[in-house]
Amino acid sequence: MTNEETIHRFYTAFQQLDYATMQACYHDDAVFNDPVFGLLDITETRAMWEMLCKRALNFSLVYGNIQLLDEEYTTCDWTASYLFSKTGRRVVNRVKAHMRFKDGLIIEHTDAFDIYRWSRQAFGLTGLLFGWSPWMNRSIQHKANLGLQQFMNS
């Protein structure tokens, strides 16, 4: 499978909340990083996608602008729209994915997005007032990782 085919497989599965297919797109040595969860190993990454898919409310996703930078590195844009489960608020998250591939599978995946914009949508006034702060960003990451660990232990 080519890197571009893997990207299509991954995001088509994401559109359908098919976490098992998403998980299968990762190399066994893969790592993931984003502003909400921080750096995750492959076990945590696979569990994160399962948790997010199972908890998704009013979810939709579009992706495109796939750019094959070379035989290993690729970027693409994706936008997810959903209700944030903790607050019930609508979030439209615009993301730039940076992926590195090995053997046709994702071995490094970084999702870059504006955490301040995300927190304003997810938390309303609290996000507006504090979402820019390192304290709030650490708090978001701590709670996301705590939730992930609880999900993995259940």
Q: Which pLDDT score, from 0 to 100, does residue 88 have?
A: 93
- How far apart (Å, rounded) are the C-alpha atoms in residues 1 and 104? 6
- How far apart (Å, rounded) are the C-alpha atoms in residues 39 and 45? 9
Residue 1 has pLDDT above 90, yes or no: no
* pTM of the model as a whole: 0.94
Q: Which pLDDT score, from 0 to 100, does residue 77 have?
A: 98
Q: Give the sheet arrangement for strand 38-40, strand by strand.
A: 38-40, 26-34, 105-112, 90-102, 73-83, 60-68
Residue 137 has pLDDT above 90, yes or no: yes
Q: What are phi and psi of 148, to 5 degrees?
A: -65, -45
The first and second tokens of residue 130, run together, are 């504090």
Per-residue pLDDT of 74-123, as tens digits, reads: 999 999 999 998 899 999 999 999 999 999 999 999 999 999 999 999 99
Q: Which pLDDT score, from 0 to 100, does residue 121 have?
A: 97
- How far apart (Å, rounded) are the C-alpha atoms in residues 67 and 44? 27
Spell out the alpha helix ranges (H) of 3-133: 3-15, 19-24, 42-55, 115-123, 125-130
Task: Report the mean per-residue pLDDT for the chain.
Answer: 96
Q: Which pLDDT score, from 0 to 100, does residue 66 have?
A: 97
The first and second tokens of residue 17, run together, are 């909340």
Residue 25 has pLDDT above 90, yes or no: yes
